[in-house]
Structure 1
Amino acid sequence: MAVVLIVKTGDAFPEVVDQHGDFETLFEKQLSSALPAPITLQTWDAQRQPSAPASDALAGIVITGSHSMVSHAEPWSEALKPWLQAALASDIPMLGVCYGHQLMAAAFGGVSDYHPGGRESGTRSVRLTQAGQQDPLFSQLPESFAAHLTHSQSVMQAPQGSTILAHNSHDAHQALRYGPRQWSVQFHPEFTAPVMRAYIERQRAALRDQGEDPDTLLGEVSDAPEASSLLWRFLAFV
């Protein structure tokens, strides 16, 4: 049985877990509706289960977000880097999201760190680059689309040889490709509008501190079907 492994790199806020499910559950809900019959989903908790599965036995890898920070170089996170490098060398299809995006970039030679512009939260517009418009995963998306975002770190320097597929006014590296079937995105295709609102509610004080209005951000939350479609489109490459 072919396995797509969800690499869990952290836990969502307790109220999000209670109402909507943890990070891996959000991915499972989105992916299971389009999962081809011979493929199953499994979750590996990278923080709590130190023994990594053999990557060359996997049909695909999806890496979740986390409240940890890649630049803090926690041992469990650093241990993932050679594992990801081996998966890339074996051309295992990969999709990293938020922390997964930043971790993949750092593992492959880029730099992930705190964004000097502060936190980006809410439903924001993301725009494809010319390369993104020609990319096999992204090319069916509109040139500009809505996506759910919540992060204070970003890919500050893309790895040499990677391709920038999407950007916006806050972040030059909203999506990257590292190989024929290896991508990562800063935004959250697994989020629904209610999950995005729950994150903004939790971040009210931090958002106010950087001069943003949480109520305005809440009012601007909308569905983001184009961003979410990347998850089931990704399954075509496994």
Structure 2
Amino acid sequence: MSQPSPKVVILKTGSTYPDIKEQFGDFDEWFVRGLSPGLDITVLNTAAGELPGDPADWDGIVMTGSAAMVSDREPWSEKAAAWLAQAVEKAVPLLGVCYGHQLLAHALGGEVGYHPGGRESGTRRVELLANAQNDPLLCGMPGSFSAQLTHRQSVLRLPLDAVLLGRNEFEPHQAFRVGKCAWGVQFHPEFSEAIMRAYLGVQAPDLEREGFDSQTMMDSVTDTPEASRLLERFSALVTENKKG
């Protein structure tokens, strides 16, 4: 008898811009596209207060990005942070992306706030550190790769027991792990090249006001296959973990 598919919950912490949603779908759909079709995926609207019961009922957890700010400490976000801390304690494989990355750090005693250097947006390089070579999720990835990014807040201080795995010149905390199997990444493995361009298009007036050249940033967008494969890697890790 074949084993049931691993149960994965996507905690959706917001929605994309209306024009982008109309063209590409919403955050959860981008993750579903990148994760393995062999997973049994449930999406919960965490920004509306939905949380999925006991973390141990799930084989894997993914938390999306958001337009919200972790430092605002909205009630739904603080409840989700407490739930993430339980998931880490119960060693359920967990991947937090952008807002999810920041909320995971906040949940475990790290500090999140506005990056002193302002916004990071567009296709940028991410460098993996020596710790990543033996990391269950990141081992075998190239030491440096391109990734899509868009954020104004950052993890300013990691939780005490976190292992730093990745950084770049702008953002010292691009990737970390806590416990055996909970990861946060600031970059967006779920973004396609087209989605990144669409974001920069929407952000262009703000970018110009902040002193960026939005057209140059748009021209610099490239495909990011190594970053995108992180969702396949997480799917494989969840599947292997379920097999025991």
TM range (shorter): over 0.9
TM-score by length of 2: 0.93
Partner in structure 2 of residue 144 of structure 1:
144
Partner in structure 2 of residue 222 of structure 1:
222
> How far apart are residue 90 of structure 1 and its match?
0.6
Partner in structure 1 of residue 241 of structure 2:
none
CA distance in 1, matches of 2:120, 2:41: 30
Structure 2 residue corresponding to 1:14, chosen from 18, 32, 37: 18
Distance 1:51 1:188, change over 3 A: closer
- Asked whether the equivalents of residues 126 and 174 of structure 1 are also in contact (C-alpha less than 8 Å), the reply is yes
Partner in structure 2 of residue 101 of structure 1:
101
Structure 1 residues 70-85: aligned runs within 5 Å: 70-85=70-85
Paired positions, count: 234
> Stretches of 4+ moved more than 3 A in 1?
49-52
- Asked whether the equivalents of residues 81 and 103 of structure 1 are also in contact (C-alpha less than 8 Å), the reply is yes
- Asked whether the equivalents of residues 126 and 168 of structure 2 are also in contact (C-alpha less than 8 Å), the reply is yes
Structure 2 counterpart of 1:90, one-letter code: K
Q: 1:27 and 2:54 equivalent?
A: no
Deviation sequence 1:114-164 (CA, Å, 0-9, x none): 001000000000000111233121121111100000000000000001011
CA distance in 1, matches of 2:132, 2:236: 17
TM-score by length of 1: 0.96
- Asked whether the equivalents of residues 44 and 51 of structure 2 are also in contact (C-alpha less than 8 Å), the reply is no
Unaligned 5+ segments in structure 2 are 239-244
Deviation sequence 1:157-185 (CA, Å, 0-9, x none): 00001011000011000001001111010
Deviation sequence 1:182-226 (CA, Å, 0-9, x none): 101000000000100011011112211221100000000000000
- Asked whether the equivalents of residues 132 and 166 of structure 2 are also in contact (C-alpha less than 8 Å), the reply is yes
Partner in structure 1 of residue 135 of structure 2:
135
User: CA RMSD for the aligned pairs?
Assistant: 1.1
CA distance in 2, matches of 1:51, 1:209: 38
CA distance in 2, matches of 1:154, 1:49: 23
Structure 1 counterpart of 2:101, one-letter code: H
CA distance in 1, matches of 2:136, 2:166: 13
CA distance in 2, matches of 1:237, 1:146: 22
> How far apart are residue 51 of structure 1 and its match?
4.6
Q: Secondary structure at the match of 2:48?
A: coil
Structure 1 counterpart of 2:31, one-letter code: F
- Asked whether the equivalents of residues 109 and 159 of structure 1 are also in contact (C-alpha less than 8 Å), the reply is yes
> How far apart are residue 237 of structure 1 and its match?
2.0
Unaligned 5+ segments in structure 1 are none
Structure 1 residue corresponding to 2:9, chosen from 5, 8, 15: 5
Deviation sequence 1:39-83 (CA, Å, 0-9, x none): 301101012244543211001000000000000000000011111
